[in-house]
Amino acid sequence: MSTTRRAAVLGSPIAHSLSPVLHRAAYEALGLDSWSYDRFEVDEAGLPPFFAELDPSWAGLSLTMPLKRAVIPLLDEISDTAASVEAVNTVVFTEDGRRVGDNTDIPGMIAALHERGIERVDSAAILGAGATASSALAALSRLCTGPVTAYVRSSARADEMKQWGERLGVDVRVAHWAAAERAFDAPLVVATTPAGTTDALAQAVPERPGTLFDVLYDPWPTALAAAWSARGGSVVGGLDLLVHQAALQVERMTGCAAAPLAVMRAAGESALAGP
């Protein structure tokens, strides 16, 4: 008889998360009938009590904001990738009871770019300086051979991005958000800001843009992504990132060699399209 295995995504807010759709689609395609994947509204204060209630049926957890750093003290070890940005979005519970943290956002970003033929660029730009921007910097440390310019709103954010650059071995240069249109001169632009933040920049997309990686997936397309596509530029979206990082989570949690990427993407697209 098969043993029931549980996994879930935690965060606050969490109701919008597409993770259950993607993981459940993967389980069905892989024939993992005894596996379940749920979502739980959990904030930083609620994380330790949640962990205290977990039993051996649990295989893993996906973590979103604001838990990616808060979870680290609760773990037995974290991967080098997670340590590089001090952020864990994946927890795997091993057979011997250890709690192992990992970060699939970074390799997920790289895989999403590789899927669109972006293997190497000589410079890049990042719009924003939050937690996702640090993951973007970590991904760019493996893709970009030259400088990365971060467009930020405050000197504090500028200092943070410079510190991340030093830590990750990236030549980070900072510019004020007021000059964000200049980002579009780079062959690769990564937009990491909340919904609506880049809408005013859509009119500034050049005649021949390079590649835009916009980490949002709902609403989609963003005004910037739509303008970019209209100009003939290549666009990598938040769903691409979400699917690739979720596929890696499925592989780590279940032990399956290859997650069904196409099935997961189709499930995500269907969910976003609505009834």
**Residue 220 and residue 249 share a domain:** no
Within this chain, do residues 93 and 188 fall inside the same structural domain, yes or no? no
Same domain, yes or no, for 31 and 111? no
Domain range holding 265?
A: 5-102+245-273
Clarify whether residues 251 and 231 are in a common domain: no
Q: Tell me, yes or no, whether 68 and 28 share the same domain.
A: yes
Query: Residue 25 corresponds to which tokens in the numbers above?
Result: 């689609």
Are 52 and 155 members of one domain?
no
Q: Are residues 58 and 138 in the same domain?
A: no
pLDDT for 1: 37
Same domain, residue pair 139 and 52: no
Are 95 and 127 in contact by the 8 Å Cβ rule? The answer is no
Q: Catalytic residue at 162?
A: no
Residue pLDDT, tens place only, 34-93: 999 999 999 999 999 999 999 999 999 999 999 999 999 999 999 999 999 999 999 999
Do 119 and 230 belong together in one domain? yes
Decide: 148 and 170 in contact? Cβ < 8 Å. Answer: yes
The per-residue b/e assignment along 243-261, b for 16 or more CB within 10 angstroms, e otherwise, is bbbbbbbbebbbebeebbb
pLDDT tens string 156-211:
999 999 999 999 999 999 999 999 999 999 999 999 999 999 999 999 999 999 99
Task: Indicate which CATH number applies to the domain containing 46.
Answer: 3.40.50.10860
Per DSSP, what are the bridge partners of residue 214? Answer: 191
Question: Closest by alpha carbon to 218, among 234, 241, 201?
Answer: 241
Dihedral angle at the C-alpha atoms of 80, 82, 85, 86, nearest 10 degrees?
-110
| CATH number of domain containing 193 | 3.40.50.720
- Tell me: do 94 and 114 sit in the same domain: no
Q: pLDDT tens-digit profile of 236-247?
A: 999 999 999 999
What element of type H or E holds 81? helix 80-85
- What are 170's two structure tokens? 């990236």
Q: Are residues 184 and 85 both part of a single domain?
A: no
Q: Which of the residues 24, 68, 157, 252 is marked catalytic?
A: 68
Shared-domain flag, residues 166 and 78: no
Chain segment 242-264, per-residue pLDDT in tens: 999 999 999 999 999 999 999 99
- The tally of domains found in the chain comes to 2
- Look at residue 155 and give its three-state secondary structure: helix
